[in-house]
Structure 1
Amino acid sequence: METYSFPTGCGLQPAHEETPVNRSPKFLSRRGLMLALAALPLLAHAQAYPSKPVTLVVGYAPGGTTDIVARMAAQSLSTATGKTFIVENKGGGSTTIATGHVAKAAPDGYTLLANEMTQTIVPSLFPKLPFDPIRDLAPVTVFAEAPYVLVVNSNVPAKNLRELVALAKAQPGKLNFASGGAGSGPHIAGELLKSVAGIEMTHVAYKGSGPAVQDLLGGQVEVLITAAPTVAAQMASGRMRPLAVAHTKRLSSLPNVPTAAEAGFPEFRIANWFGLAAPKGTSPEVVGYLHAEVQKMIKRPDVREKLLAAGAEPVSMTPAEATRHLETEAQRWGALIQKAQIKVD
């Protein structure tokens, strides 16, 4: 059973200024006793949670990176706590079905969202949702980040990001960049590169990452910017070439691929991230319990190895830091979506 440490001054330890010098320390002052009794419901709640299975809701079908990371987290949390954490997939609606389900769930800590970058994109793509994807959820933490990598078909003459930008400027609009759909992360990434580099490329939307990767390999499109796990297996084929990691530091899994910052484009920074969020109104004690367990999880060598194998880097954010991160990302992508006039059907 989980233990809970009472806050200082709750009464379990006598307040020295209220304890007579001739009284044994085991006795409590009247005020201290009242505070201790008032804290008992908090102790009972902290000890009881979780008393039934906790569900991590994923906004995609099984098999994608978000699903893989969520299942890894559920298994690790179950093993570490002796409690039950399970994954439920609710794909569709650009993750709004899953996000809405969690936002409207009881704020008791038993229904959580396995959230990622899309949560900060959908507010601007779907402004008329019956819930607020940011404010109706309480971030628990962000525990992993997967920086995007820019890859090109091997026939593209550019050997680095600077050469690609020069090529795009010499042939405005002739380079095609692929994505898994309008408003998807790779679409946002392409628009970000266009904006920070001052270039024109033509967006080609596919129904999913798989077809986008296949057409990049086949030469129907020249550029794809996506999370490293999406293209990790194909990079070894020689039919596509990585030019840059869209981040300020190199990926552990791609140590020889320079960053966009190294190429002179530090603002070309985009990464998918993975975290947990609870319905708004979930108690700070439950959020704190979950945050603490996730921090223990990402410090385990086996978990770090699994994240790195999936192209993700472990990170650590408190609930407050995760909240600021989501708000900042939502503002950033909202401004870009408006500038690029991105629409979804």
Structure 2
Amino acid sequence: MKRLLTAVTLATMALGAAAQNYPDKPVTIVVPFAAGGPTDKVARDLAEAIRKPLGGQVIIENVAGAGGTLGHTKVAKASPDGYTLLLAHVAMATAPALYRKLQYDALNDFEYLGLINEVPMTLIARPTMPANNFAELAKWVDANKGKINLANAGLGSASHLCGLLFQQSMKVDMTTVPYKGTGPAMTDLIGGQVDLMCDQTTNTLSQIEGNKVKAYGVTTTKHLSIPALSKLPTLDEAGLKGFNVTIWHGLYAPKGTPKAVLDKVNGALKTALKDAEFHKREEALGAVIVGDARVNPAEHKKFVEAEIAKWGPAIKAAGQYAD
């Protein structure tokens, strides 16, 4: 018994010493999607901004596959020492409903570090769509029930999730057309092969600015300050009461990571979120930096719990699952 207590004491002391010296080697932020996408861009911008306040090198590792769940699993099972972190988006809240079997528990296998940003979404259509505003689009949808194609970037993607809520809010079933990424979905929308799509401003802004698609509204409850989108109504005020969808990003560590390490990472994150260059880069993506209580671990987790409660019923009602 004495030997066991001694071993535990030594282990605790070792963890404490390691936490005090953290970080003494590079910190890896796992991105659960391929390089080049919106989440990868956010991670690389954050890595640059958080490096100085954290006091060490930060590198990005892309672990793509299975709708992001492979990357989540890798971090959930990583050593809880603060050297492997996860930057994840709304999939943290939607995967529990989308996937029948997950190798991690979204609420219990991670330490929540803070929310980073929120990315608004826009409802867009092919350029040949006859409707010129949301009221006209609603009439067109009503007149074309059973013939409407709604594109998305794949199961679990932001466009898929927004499309689910859009159909439920409109009380109309549309033919969902999943693509392997936003690129091919946008190409077919511009070409008129599909009718509608709801996607992040990071993917739609340039197309709207170039008049390559028609835009009908933003998914936030407030108007956006982005010049090309500032005159668009919110879908809430356009008639879809309560419609509010953003694609957010948060930072996580494996469960059991020492509190001293978590506190240091959270402090560095808060400093990074005030970095002028980081703001500039995120604004170029159409993202809004979080500046409220959700940058704190407890409020971050409460927010994700609410998101799980919001998305779970919508996904289950649609009956669209992945193995």
TM-score by length of 1: 0.84
1:266 to 1:295, Cα distance in 2 relative to 1, 3 A: farther
Question: Which one-letter code corresponds to 2:196 in the other structure?
Answer: V
Separation in 2 of the partners of 1:98 and 1:41? 28
1:189 and 2:162 aligned:
yes
Tell me, which stretches of 5 or more residues in structure 1 are unaligned? 1-39
Separation in 2 of the partners of 1:238 and 1:262? 23
**Counterpart selection for 2:267 from 292, 296, 317:** 292
Q: In structure 2, what is the equivalent of residue 260 of structure 1?
A: 235
SS in 1 for 2:139: helix
Count residues in correspondence: 307
Trace 1:27-38 onto structure 2 (pairs within 5 A): none
Separation in 2 of the partners of 1:286 and 1:127? 33
Q: In structure 2, what is the equivalent of residue 327 of structure 1?
A: 305
**Counterpart selection for 1:146 from 105, 115, 119:** 119
Separation in 2 of the partners of 1:115 and 1:319? 15
1:54 and 2:27 aligned:
yes
- Could you tell me how far 1:260 is from its partner in structure 2? 1.4
Q: Is the 8 A contact 1:165 1:199 kept in 2?
A: no
Separation in 1 of the partners of 2:15 and 2:63? 33
State which drifts further: 214-223 or 232-241: 232-241
SS in 1 for 2:235: coil
How high is the sequence identity, in percent, across the aligned residues?
38
Trace 1:99-110 onto structure 2 (pairs within 5 A): 99-110=72-83
State which drifts further: 267-276 or 75-84: 75-84
Question: Which one-letter code corresponds to 1:335 in the other structure?
Answer: P
Q: In structure 1, what is the equivalent of residue 278 of structure 2?
A: 303
**Counterpart selection for 2:59 from 79, 86, 93:** 86
Separation in 1 of the partners of 2:129 and 2:235? 18
Question: Which one-letter code corresponds to 1:343 in the other structure?
Answer: Y
Q: What do residues 273-310 of structure 1 show as CA deviations (whole Å, max 9, x unaligned)?
A: 11101111122222222111111111122111111101
Separation in 2 of the partners of 1:53 and 1:311? 30
Separation in 2 of the partners of 1:287 and 1:195? 39
Q: In structure 2, what is the equivalent of residue 208 of structure 1?
A: 181
- Could you tell me how far 1:50 is from its partner in structure 2? 1.3
Q: Is the 8 A contact 1:168 1:201 kept in 2?
A: no
Q: Is the 8 A contact 1:58 1:90 kept in 2?
A: yes
- Could you tell me how far 1:88 is from its partner in structure 2? 0.3
Q: What do residues 188-228 of structure 1 show as CA deviations (whole Å, max 9, x unaligned)?
A: 11110111222232211111111000000000111110101
Separation in 1 of the partners of 2:218 and 2:100? 31
Q: Which has the larger radius of gyration?
A: 1
Separation in 2 of the partners of 1:56 and 1:194? 35
1:337 and 2:315 aligned:
yes
- Could you tell me how far 1:323 is from its partner in structure 2? 0.4
Which fold has the larger relative contact order, with Cα–Cα distance below 8 Å and residues 6 or more apart in sequence? 2
Q: Is the 8 A contact 2:126 2:196 kept in 1?
A: yes
State which drifts further: 74-83 or 226-235: 74-83
SS in 1 for 2:320: coil
Q: Is the 8 A contact 1:100 1:133 kept in 2?
A: no
SS in 2 for 1:251: coil
